[in-house]
Every structure is written in C-alpha cells, then in structure tokens.
C-alpha cells in the first residue's frame, strides 16, 4: 500500500518528506501487517471480473474516465509490478522521483522462512539488509561522480549509469543519495491475492452503495490501495478501517464515540467514502484530482492547481514545486489506484486462478437497549476474533468491558443466530453491568 497521508490536510501542512542520509534511515517498511479476516469463516466462490461499462449516468464517468493520464504511465507500471510481480518477501530499492530507476531487488524469503527467529529478529535482519543495500547504492553513486569512462563500470552498475545520462544537473548523483530519493518498497503480490479473496465479502454491497450515490464503481477499488480489504486495518497516522478514514474526517459525521467507531463499519465507512469522493469531485471536477484529494485533501489539491496553473495531475506530479508539496504518497496515490484497477480487472492474467470469499452471512440488528460485549460474545460462542470480524466498529474500550454498547447501535451477528439474538434482545432484563457507562446513541 502507498503510505497514508491524512485526508483533508491542506498542502500547506501536509506531512513532510523525510530528510537526512538514506544510509541511516530507520523507518524503512520491510513487512506488512497480516490481513485480518479469517479465511476459515467463509467458503470460497468463483471470482467475478468487474463490469465497468454503461455507467453514463454516474458522476464524471465515460469510457476514458480512468485512463492513465499523460505523465503517469511510468508510475502506474511501477505499481502494477509491486502489486503483481513482487511478493511481501521481496522489494525494490528505487529512486522516489525517477520511480522506474530500480537499483536492486531484495529477497527476504530466507529470513522469513527461518523457524529459529522470532518476528522482531526477522524484522531487524530485513532492515539491516535494506540498509546494507542502500549503502551499496550510495557508494556506487559517489563513484559515479568521478567516472570518466563508463565502459570500466561493472555490468550491474551500467544500467543505473545509463539512466543517469538522461538526467541533467551537476549534483544529480549527490541528490540521488538523499533519504527522500533512495527508497525501499515492499512487494504486495500475495497480499493482493488475499485481498481479492476478502473483497468478495464486501464488493457487491460497496458497488451498490456507489451506484446509488451516482458514483463510478471503479472507485470501490480504492479499498485495495487503502487496506487490501483488511477489515481491522489501523494506520500509524490514525487512519482506520477498510477506507482508512482519519478520525477528524469521521468526527463531523457523528461516526465516533467511546463505544462505537463507524469508520470501521464496512457499510457505514463506504457511505462516508462515497460522500467524501463526491464532494471532492464537485470541488475539483476531475477524478484524477478528486481521488488524489482523498489522500492529500481536496483543498490542498485545489490550491496546487491554482498555484501551478494546471489541472492535469501528470503536470502536478512532475513539476518540481508541486510534486514536493504533494509528497511521495499523494503523488503516487492515483497511479497506484489505476494500477490496482488494471491488476484486479485482469487478476487471472497476473495471478492465475483467484477466488472470492462468500459474504460473511451476517445479520445487522439495531439494539433496542444497551448491551455488554460479554453478552454479544455469547452469540459467537465466546470467539472474540470472530466477533471482531463481524463487528470491527466496536471499540477496544467496549471489548474490554469499560463501555457498553448503547441503545440504537448496530450489531452484526451470524445469520443462524439472528432468531436467538432477537429473542434475547426482546427480554426486559437490564444488561448493563454496575459501573459501566453506555455511550449515548445521540453521539453516533
């Protein structure tokens, strides 16, 4: 996934690019968190190819609405490779500005397979492997500064040298060694295959929500970019849920209180994402800009179009001033979205046989009275993880027994338990424990 930059953040306060010596960078991502979903909860079914034609009534749609804009071809190709070629045990060391300048492909398979190492030890070994590779590249680039005869270079360095012959600037080699330029990207092939499976639980409903909102259904595939359909996804910057919605984005829509966080409810989050994307389009009048605004903030994107006098995303991602303001994540967000459209649409070409999950088989019920999480767990036979997959919107405070689910909140239970749950909820007994405080449904 592309690193998350908070949605709704103006360009003037967008997250800065890292600075410093790439050789000693310590924030290199070398692993992805596991996709939570528990494949054993649902059986598989044949994958269905998306059908994107005949959407003329949808906002901003035509057959070329999501064609690759001029200037983004190289970025899209890079992300297609990340999603379809390299696994999460592989990655590429590349230049963040000249994204197709790949110095090395690293393979962590041996480290990952070692049974004698714990997760922390594997992580440290992978980070060291990346640091060592960065040092090799930095040393190579420093040598390039004094090269007078390229024919003397080793074969493995000639490709990089040939690429730099097309780049102007007296300090081009030195600039390429900076931390903001020398970057490691982990592959995602196996993660995307897994995401395709879990998408079967949600995509049909998401497509209906977007159709009803008058939006192109291609936009539902942003979930692959944001979370790979990890229903329990949480980011280090505070984005949450399948759509990775920031807390300050969800709060004005009354989505969050101590007991419930609707950013993590698949249906509620999708409805909000549709609303945000529609608002972005109404402000920016082009899907490349509107989708970029989902990551960078629409007001920030609008400001860039005025400041640099262009509404072409390809121009904004190439201009030295605007691309710096966008940062790596935002200037690659739309390209990664187009790449996932290509990869998912042609999944058998890239992955062979793929499967969809069947829907979870959940029934949503509105609580007629407060409910403890302990009681909810009874309908999942005490399986907390299963209850989480069905109810990712229930907060940790509630799961720990410190809050009670309020009257009016929605819970999801297995369909085969619906009758039992309805009968239990109809009983008059008080279910709130002494000392527990129910969050008000007015807060939702």
Q: Look at residue 23 in the predicted model and tell me its pLDDT.
A: 36
Q: What is the pLDDT of residue 320?
A: 83
**Which pLDDT belongs to residue 10?**
32
Q: State residue 79's pLDDT score.
A: 98
Q: What is the pLDDT of residues 91-109, one digit of tens each?
A: 999 999 999 999 999 999 9
pLDDT for res 305: 94
Beta-ladder partners of 93: 104, 184
Give yes or no for residue 430 having a pLDDT over 80.
no
C-alpha–C-alpha distance, residues 402 and 258, integer Å = 9
Q: Is the pLDDT of residue 432 over 70?
A: no
Q: What pLDDT, in 10s, does the model give residues 9-20?
A: 333 323 333 333
Topology (CATH) of 33-69+189-359? Lysozyme (1.10.530)
Q: Say what the pLDDT of residue 24 is.
A: 35
Answer whether residue 240 shows pLDDT above 80. Answer: yes
Q: Is the pLDDT of residue 382 over 80?
A: yes
- Show Cβ contacts of residue 225 under 8 Å, excluding neighbours closer than 6 positions: 1, 2, 333, 336, 337, 340
Taking residues 388-398, report their average pLDDT.
97
For residue 326, the surrounding DSSP H or E stretch is: helix 320-345
pLDDT at 436: 56
Please tell me the predicted confidence (pLDDT) of residue 14: 34
pLDDT of residue 17: 32
pLDDT at 36 over 70: yes
Question: Is residue 56 within 8 Å of 211, Cβ to Cβ?
Answer: no
* Domain map (residue ranges) of the chain: 33-69+189-359, 362-443
Cα-trace Rg, the chain: 24
* pLDDT value of position 32: 87
pLDDT at 71 over 60: yes
Integer Cα distance of 86 and 200 in angstroms: 23
Pairwise CA distance, residues 416 & 425, whole Å: 16
pLDDT at 401: 96
Q: Could you report the per-residue pLDDT of 257-268, keeping only the tens digit for each?
A: 999 999 999 999
Which tokens sit at 158? Answer: 């000639």
pLDDT of residue 204: 97
Where does the pLDDT of residue 443 fall: very low under 50, low under 70, confident under 90, or very high at 90 and above? Answer: very low
Rounded Cα–Cα distance for residues 255 and 249 (Å): 9
Q: In what order do the strands lie in the sheet with 182-186?
A: 102-107, 90-95, 182-186
pLDDT tops 90 at residue 219: yes
Please tell me the total number of residues recorded for the chain in this structure. 444
Q: Which of 105-123 are b and which e, b meaning 16 or more Cβ less than 10 Å from the residue's Cβ?
A: ebebeebeeeeeeeeeebe
Q: Which two tokens stand for residue 428?
A: 């008059």
Per-residue pLDDT reduced to its tens digit, 298-357? 999 999 999 999 999 999 998 888 888 999 999 999 999 999 999 999 999 999 999 999
Q: What is the mean pLDDT of residues 376-393?
A: 97
pLDDT at residue 27, rounded to an integer = 44
Q: What is the 8-class DSSP label of residue 167?
A: -
CB atoms within 10 A of CB 54: 9
d(CA 375, CA 388): 14
What local confidence, expressed as pLDDT, does residue 5 receive? 43
Q: Which of 391, 57, 389 is nearest to 210 (CA)?
A: 57
pLDDT tier at 439, thresholds 50, 70, 90: low
């Amino acid at each position: 996934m592309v690193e998350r930059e908070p949605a709704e953040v103006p360009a003037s306060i967008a997250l800065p690019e890292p600075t410093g010596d790439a050789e000693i960078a310590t924030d290199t991502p070398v692993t992805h968190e596991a996709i939570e979903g528990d494949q054993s909860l649902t059986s598989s079914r044949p994958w269905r190819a998306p059908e994107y034609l005949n959407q003329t009534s949808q906002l901003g749609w035509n057959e070329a609405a999501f064609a690759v804009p001029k200037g983004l071809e190289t970025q899209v190709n890079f992300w297609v490779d990340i999603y379809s070629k390299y696994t999460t045990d592989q990655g590429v060391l590349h230049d963040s500005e000249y994204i197709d300048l790949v110095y090395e492909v690293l393979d962590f398979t041996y480290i990952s397979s070692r049974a004698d190492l714990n997760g922390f030890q594997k992580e440290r070994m992978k980070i060291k492997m990346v640091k060592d590779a960065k040092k090799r590249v930095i040393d190579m680039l420093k040598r390039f500064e004094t090269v007078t005869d390229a024919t003397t270079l080793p074969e493995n360095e000639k490709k990089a040298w040939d690429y730099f012959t097309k780049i102007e600037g007296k300090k081009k080699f030195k600039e390429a060694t900076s931390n903001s330029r020398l970057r490691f990207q982990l592959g995602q092939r196996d993660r995307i295959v897994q995401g395709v499976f879990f998408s079967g639980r949600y995509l049909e409903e998401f497509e209906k929500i977007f159709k009803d909102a008058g939006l192109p259904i291609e936009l539902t595939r942003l979930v692959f970019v944001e979370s790979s359909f990890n229903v329990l996804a949480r980011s280090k910057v505070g984005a949450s849920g399948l759509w990775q919605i920031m807390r300050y984005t969800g709060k004005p829509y009354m989505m969050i209180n101590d007991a419930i966080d609707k950013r993590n409810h698949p249906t509620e989050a999708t409805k909000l994402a549709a609303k945000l994307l529609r608002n972005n389009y109404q402000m920016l009048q082009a899907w490349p800009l509107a989708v970029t605004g989902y990551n960078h903030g629409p007001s920030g994107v609008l400001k860039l179009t005025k400041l640099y006098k262009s509404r072409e995303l390809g121009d904004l991602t190439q201009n030295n001033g605007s691309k710096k303001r966008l940062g790596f994540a935002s200037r690659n967000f739309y390209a990664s979205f187009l790449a996932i459209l290509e990869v998912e649409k042609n999944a058998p070409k890239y992955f062979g046989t793929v499967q969809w999950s069947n829907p979870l088989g959940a029934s949503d019920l509105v609580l007629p009275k407060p409910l403890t999480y302990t009681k909810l767990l009874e309908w999942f036979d005490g399986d907390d993880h299963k209850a989480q997959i069905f109810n990712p919107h229930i907060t940790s405070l509630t799961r720990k027994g410190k809050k009670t689910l309020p009257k009016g909140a929605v819970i999801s239970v297995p369909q085969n338990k619906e009758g039992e749950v309805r009968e239990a909820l109809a009983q008059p007994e008080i279910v709130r424990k002494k000392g527990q405080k129910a969050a008000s449904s007015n807060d939702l």
